Amino acid sequence: MLSNLFSQLVDNSLFFAQSCLLCGVPGTPPGLCPDCQASLPRLPAERCPRCAEPVTGGTLCGACQHHPPAFDALHVSYRFDYPLDGLIHAFKYGKRLEMAGALGRLLAREEPVSPAAIDLIVPVPLAKERLAARGFNQSHELARTLAATMQARFAADLCWRKYNTRAQATLDRAERHRNMNDAFGVKRSLDGLCIAIVDDVATSGATLSSLASALKKQGARRVEAWVLARAISLKT
């Protein structure tokens, strides 16, 4: 019994706290060893200040000039590509909750933003049925870590998703926007506040834009999106 307990403790500390999530090398408390962290696929430094699309010179991209999203900025450092895509997949669908801290810290450490500039940190909510099926909301876990790192207020229940929107991947551009139109509810007025919304991956940008729009309708002054990884070209 005692030896059982002991081996359990050893297993937990080795597996959860001290081995790299990617290569398994022991002795790496934050989740990824420095080599694996350096190997993650980064977006180019020059990108659109609004949506983070890679653009030479870092100027506003064509899409944002014509149809700007409702969020004011997208903070993201990584491309949704190997091996980060596998990590996110394991976290999300494999219910690897112990990965939330490591992935949340990856999200938090990248952008030097003054914490005082953010009033509330809000996860992109899942629809009730999806939350029930998955067991947890990956965005909620990432947002909680980001809030702790930035010492900003975590507003987990400020927003909700009204219905289970169809999978964006199956739709064309016009359908994506219609699909996301009015998908979110916001519980109270946010006069003049600056909000950071958090998600794991930006694929179409339509989800983030829809949530940002709902927050602005309630009076938010500025909405920034923080995501861990971005598809190289948002299919908007």
Measured from the CB of residue 94, what is the shortest distance to Zn ion in angstroms? Answer: 18
**Number of C-alpha atoms within 13 angstroms, CB side, residue 61?**
21
- Distance set, CA 181 to CA 108, 187, 208, 210 (Å): 29, 17, 11, 6
Number of residues that bind Zn ion (CB under 5 A): 11
Measured from the CB of residue 40, what is the shortest distance to Zn ion in angstroms? Answer: 11
Residues 38-67 that bind Zn ion (CB under 5 A): 48, 50-51, 53, 61, 64
Measured from the CB of residue 141, what is the shortest distance to Zn ion in angstroms? Answer: 21
Give residue 24's Cα distance to chain centre.
24
Q: For the chain, where are the alpha helices, taking DSSP H only?
A: 2-12, 34-39, 62-66, 84-93, 100-109, 128-134, 138-150, 173-180, 206-217
Residues 17-36 that bind Zn ion (CB under 5 A): 20, 22-23, 33, 36
Closer residue to Zn ion, CB minimum distance, 91 or 154: 91
Closer residue to Zn ion, CB minimum distance, 102 or 159: 102
Q: Quick one: which of 129, 128, 138 has its CA closest to 91?
A: 138
Measured from the CB of residue 50, what is the shortest distance to Zn ion in angstroms? Answer: 4
- Interface residues with Zn ion (CB under 5 A) are 20, 22-23, 33, 36, 48, 50-51, 53, 61, 64
